[in-house]
Structure 1
Amino acid sequence: MVYHSPQADVWRNLALEAHLLDRADLDRPLLLTWAGCEAVVLGRNQNPWRECDPEALSAAGVPLARRVSGGGTVYHDPGNLNYGVITDRTRYEPERVYAVAERALAGFGVRLERVEKTRLYVRGRKCSGHAFAFRRGRALHHGTLLVEADLERLERMLTPALPALETAAVPSVRAPVANLAEFAPGLDIPSLRDALERAFIELFGSGPRLRLSLNDAEEEDLTLREAQLRAPEWLYGRTPPFSADLPGGRRVRVRRGRLDDGRGDWFRPEIPEP
């Protein structure tokens, strides 16, 4: 099964991934692709203040979201293509999922190189990161592909508010990045999406792209998941405990995104002295 989400909203698409992971008919593996608006997306177990500056993102009108999978923080804009393979856990083969992108890009003369477990590079620069979620006997393996993104803005949006703090949160691995269009002039989101779909069908034997149709109960589930992903309790409350020194020398401890000082306010690095 091959689906493309026409939605641009980051929370809607993240909710759709989670919905399909939990509820899709997985007689055959499923491919979902989407390209959305500008956003910064955290991994499930990350600290937003170490990965970016939530206040600066808000001032710039850039959404900050947290997904259900692990891994590092990624920047999305309309020049970024997102894709995910969802399958029964017993049928999950990581190599075949990576091969979808590798085969698709090979058709444009681009050779991807795997670095460690989750990153794809071209000529020493990162163009794709991957993350995973496993639950209820199912697997989600998804990734981003930088096609023609604004890389200067990417760097600005991923500048942390508090780069040095004490935490067990999973850190992102910083690396030089590149757009795939740099290595394949003329490559764009639609052409790469079509190539990914062809490669997926060749590797997994699934049929052509289908229109994603949800019944009333599924739409209700999707709406509920989207609301949960938007909630501060998910975005900030999932943050592992940490300690930090604020400007002016004040040291704070934060648990579940709230100050551990008896007041329980949501943490902000600019909180003034009491």
Structure 2
Amino acid sequence: MILINNENQTKPSLNLALEEYALLNLDLSQEHLLFYINEPAVIIGKHQNTHEEINHDYIQQNHIQVIRRVSGGGTVYHDHGNLNFSFLTQVKGKAFNDYRTFTQPIIQALVALDIPAELTGRNDIIVKDRKISGNAQYRRAERMFCHGTLLFNTDLNNVVAALNVKPDKIQSKGIKSIRSRVANISEFLIQPMTVAEFKQHLINTIFIDKPKKIHHFSDLDWQAIEKLAKEKYENWDWNYGKSPEFNFQNRSRFNIGEIDIRFNVKNSRVAAVKIYGDFFAQEDISGLETLLLNLPYEPNAFSEALATVNLHNYFGFLTVAEFLTLCFPNN
């Protein structure tokens, strides 16, 4: 395993660009590990509607950045008290959607601090029924990364205030508020430590039986990373996107996460379609949106079109019947 040095950068757009650049350009025949800490930012899941995920007034008043990432899943809050990790590797077998393999080294490092961490649900690490980490994955051809947050001493009041959490998501997790179900790792430490010391503990534990190599990016690499950050991760169209009005919307929560689908129907055909949600996709959801475009807005036409694709590549283990129920709730 090779440790990636991000030169202690804390600019969110730069760190997300670095992660994507590393995925596409490094030799991943050996697994790479990246740690980074961001300035206050709300990080939006790839398939989510930014406008519906954030508290706009609070974001502006507190100068919190809003950036969309390339992986699916839900919106998260980053600040100097949150440590992010990313395992970059080649796709092997059923590695995509396998969170246990990638989170196990993190969990072992937490257990070494006498913190009873465990993986639960789709992608969360919890301690005593409180979430300390959320994880997501992204795949490009035969390359992928699995990345996650580690709430160490994050300002949890900002987590609550900056995010616009839907009541159905709160209800589905059996909770009364975000604040009651999330926690900082520092709350469970027997001996206090800084986030920098915690990061070093993770590195020491993960690399204990492995030779530690460190990858440094060249000046040319940094130029390319900065270019990607500016053109993509600091671009309004990427981070917010243009959200057209739709005359049909339906949202439902499945085992694979929430899906929010919106159609504009003209002359009984789909004139526009947009799919949002906190699901994890192996293929870009725009491919499915294109498939549905111009179809007659009726179940049989959708069913025939969906038979030509593998829906699991877009949503995970979702059936065609479940998707049709979302699109045609009254049938």
User: Residue 24 of structure 2 aligns to a residue in which SS?
Assistant: helix
Counterpart position of 2:51: 49
Amino acid at match of 2:131: K
2:237 to 233, 238, 242: 233
CA distance in 2, matches of 1:53, 1:194: 34
Q: Is the 8 A contact 1:119 1:129 kept in 2?
A: yes
Question: What residue number does 1:68 align with?
Answer: 70
On the 8 A contact 1:51/1:158 being kept in 2, the answer is: yes
Could you report, residue by residue, the CA deviation over 1:159-178 in whole angstroms, capped at 9, with x for unpaired residues?
36xx58xxxxxxx9775100
Q: Give the alignment of 1:188-199 within 5 angstroms.
A: 188-199=194-205
Aligned counterpart, 2:160: 155
1:61-140 equivalence runs, <5 A = 61-90=63-92, 92=95, 94-140=99-145
CA gap of 1:138–1:56, structure 2 versus 1, over 3 A, is same
For the aligned residue pairs, the C-alpha RMSD in angstroms reads: 3.0
Which one is further off, 149-158 or 125-134? 149-158
Distance 2:100 2:111 in 1: 16
Q: Assess if the C-alpha contact under 8 Å between 2:55 and 2:161 holds in 1.
A: no
> Could you say which structure has the greater relative contact order, defined with CA pairs below 8 angstroms and 6 or more residues apart?
1
* 1:239 to 1:95, Cα distance in 2 relative to 1, 3 A: farther
TM-score, normalised to structure 1's length?
0.78
Structure 1: distance between partners of 2:156 and 2:100: 28
Q: Deviations over 1:68-115 (max 9, x none)?
A: 111111101111000000001127464331111111111110011222
Corresponding residue of 2:222: 219
Partner amino acid for 1:3? Answer: I
The aligned residue for residue 200 of structure 1 is 206
Q: 1:64: Cα distance to partner?
A: 0.4
Q: CA deviation at 1:117?
A: 2.0
Residue 188 of structure 1 deviates from its aligned partner by: 2.7
* Conservation of the 8 A alpha-carbon contact between 1:80 and 1:146: yes
User: Secondary structure of 2:202's partner?
Assistant: helix
| Secondary structure, aligned partner of 2:29 | coil
Alpha-carbon offset, residue 37 of structure 1: 0.9
Gaps of 5+ in 2: 250-263, 265-271, 275-331
For structure 1, the 5+ residue unaligned runs are 165-171, 246-252, 257-274
- Give aligned pairs, total: 240
Deviation of residue 51 (structure 1)?
Answer: 1.5
Q: Which amino acid aligns with 2:162?
A: M
Distance 1:140 1:79 in 2: 22
2:287 corresponds to which residue?
A: none
Answer with 1 or 2: which has the greater Rg. Answer: 2
**How far apart in 2 are the matches of 1:95 and 1:114?**
7
One-letter amino acid of the structure 2 residue matched with residue 19 of structure 1: Y
Amino acid in the other structure paired with 1:231: N
Distance 1:131 1:242, change over 3 A: farther
Q: Report the equivalent of 1:169.
A: none
* 2:100–2:119 contact (8 Å) kept in structure 1: no
The CA deviation at 1:55 is 4.4
CA contact (8 A) 1:48 1:239 kept: no
Q: Tell me if the contact between 1:147 and 1:187 (Cα under 8 Å) persists in the aligned partners.
A: no
Contact 2:51 2:240 in 1 (8 A): no
Q: Percent identity?
A: 27
Q: Say if 1:86 and 1:140, in contact at 8 Å, map to a contact too.
A: yes
TM-score normalised by length of structure 2 = 0.65
Q: Cα distance 1:56–1:244, how it changes in 2: closer, same or farther (>3 A)?
A: farther
Report the Cα offset of residue 202 of structure 1. 4.2
Residues 158-197 of structure 1: pairs in structure 2 closer than 5 A: 158-159=163-164, 163=166, 175=178, 176-185=181-190, 186-197=192-203
Separation of aligned partners in 2, 1:242 and 1:97? 39
**What is the rounded CA distance, in whole Å, between the counterparts of 2:242 and 2:51 in structure 1?**
13
Would you say the 8 A contact 1:87–1:139 is kept in 2? yes
Whole-angstrom CA distance in 1 between matches of 2:187 and 2:226:
38
